[in-house]
Amino acid sequence: MLKDVVRTKTYQNVIYQNKFLFKNKIILDVGAGTGILSLFCAKAGAAHVYAVECSDMADMAKEIVESNGFSEVVTVLKGKIEEIELPVAKVDIIISEWMGYFLLYENMLNTVLYARDKWLVNDGILLPDKASLYLTAIEDADYKEDKIEFWNNVYGFNMSCIKKQAMMEPLVDTVDQNQIVTNCQLLKTMDISKMVSGDASFTVPFKLVAERDDYIHALVAYFDVSFTNCHKLMGFSTGPRSRATHWKQTVLYLEDVLTICEGEALTGHMTVAPNKKNPRDIDIMIKYALNGRRCVVSRVQYYKMR
């Protein structure tokens, strides 16, 4: 994960270029991993950093903090945010890299919100404090052939029941920006400093207008995060027009191949909710319609991220 340069460099820039935020402050790093963000904060002048990590990586983080000479400033706490105790009443800043694939898959947002409510001072700062989910549509004939239609004829046998399953699984992969056929629609913005629950259940409309005559094989979701408390706005995008990150994009293949003309709109709704049986999984429903000159389609499709 450290090798995701976009991710780590953005956090590093946010911290090193905004030392005024960190100077003499108490920081809580939620899900600290190797402790890299805590070390950045320490170097930026923090009074103290509490690096909370529940996996065995906490032992590594301790060793790393020590061998880099920051034991006085960074305290690694092995455990869950919900269970650990801090030796301070409140912290000034909570920093965390909590985002999952599709922003919401296996994310740590609820943990961050819990930490916010329990440990952050009233006018405290969350880094990042905004996250937005976007949707666009792509031409993807080659890959759909390779990843989905493949199952129609596997060494001479029909495995279309696996195809059905493959269609239901959003695919985490990088998309070439030249495949983008429509505008990019903002689906939802989350204000991490104010939102009440991190449970991802929502229904949002979308309207994707074709920017050229083309075919649409899939919808593509991605997210941005921002740090609005910096001297100037900072953040990064995981969209297909930005430098690739380990989050890539999330591709949702459509049953239909849509023949869309420039200016025509693919409209619909996306519903996202944790799976009832296994709340780690995410159920996605997409209702879409195109009433075009060359193609009239209306359909509901179900996906499951697991």
List the interface residues with a second copy, window 135-154 (CB under 8 A): 150, 154
Closer residue to a second copy (CB): 63 or 199 = 63
- Residue 8 beta carbon to a second copy: minimum distance, rounded to whole angstroms: 6
Given the rule CB under 8 A, which of 1-9, 24-32, 133-141, 287-295 is the region that contacts a second copy? 1-9
Among 4, 17, 43, 209, binds a second copy (CB under 8 A): 43
Closer residue to a second copy (CB): 123 or 155 = 155
Given the rule CB under 8 A, which of 33-41, 101-109, 227-235, 283-291 is the region that contacts a second copy? 33-41
- Residue 161 beta carbon to a second copy: minimum distance, rounded to whole angstroms: 4
Q: Sort strands 282-291 and 296-305 into parallel, antiparallel or unpaired.
A: antiparallel
Closer residue to a second copy (CB): 15 or 305 = 15
- Residue 142 beta carbon to a second copy: minimum distance, rounded to whole angstroms: 15
Among 89, 157, 178, 276, binds a second copy (CB under 8 A): 157
Q: Which residues are catalytic?
A: 97, 106
- Residue pointed to by tokens 């029941």: 161
Q: Is 64 in the site for a second copy (CB under 8 A)?
A: yes
Closer residue to a second copy (CB): 169 or 211 = 169
Q: Which residues bind a second copy (CB under 8 A)?
A: 2-3, 8-9, 12, 34, 36, 39-40, 43, 60, 63-64, 67-68, 150, 154-162, 165
